[in-house]
Amino acid sequence: MELRNQCRIIRTTELAAAQEKLNELERQKEELLRSCSPASLLQMLQEAMQKTDEESEALHRQFLDKEIDLGSFVMKYKNLRTTYHKRALIHLAAKASPTDGASEDELLVGDEGAEPWQTKTDHHNTGQINQHD
């Protein structure tokens, strides 16, 4: 009888430890799934775009204040703006993906005069997309 009680105590203790570990792993899994969700990835991309935009503005101010020479400014500014626009296009494409609003029929694949990120609604209603740079 004493041996059975000891076995039960050991099993209960081991089960509690295993359950605690399982709960921790489930929590980590949920956290990872949240951080990799489409909404989270879009948010991170938006933040990266904003950071790059701010960096290019700071570089522009340095140039205007004559803190950086023209050659360096042009090279760095071009790289920053290229990075910004690549991210912006990815962001637009992701937002217009069939799983996020626009249907495949709505996308303008190969439609002459349309930009790759435009939908039929964008192209036919406005004819163009406003660009900031």
Q: How confident is the model at residue 99 (pLDDT cuts 50, 70, 90)?
A: low
- Residue 128 CA to residue 104 CA, distance in Å, equals 20
Nearest CA to 77 out of 62, 60, 64 is that of 60
- Residue 20 CA to residue 5 CA, distance in Å, equals 22
Cα dihedral: 123, 46, 82, 77 (round 10): 130
User: Which spans in the chain are helix H?
Assistant: 2-35, 38-64, 70-95, 120-126
Tell me the mean pLDDT in the region 87-104.
Answer: 77
Has residue 75 got a pLDDT over 90?
yes
Which residue would you say has higher pLDDT here, 130 or 73?
73
Interval 102-128: pLDDT, tens: 444 444 444 444 444 444 444 444 444
Has residue 81 got a pLDDT over 80?
yes
Instruction: Of 34-43, 47-56, 97-106, give the lowest mean pLDDT range.
Output: 97-106
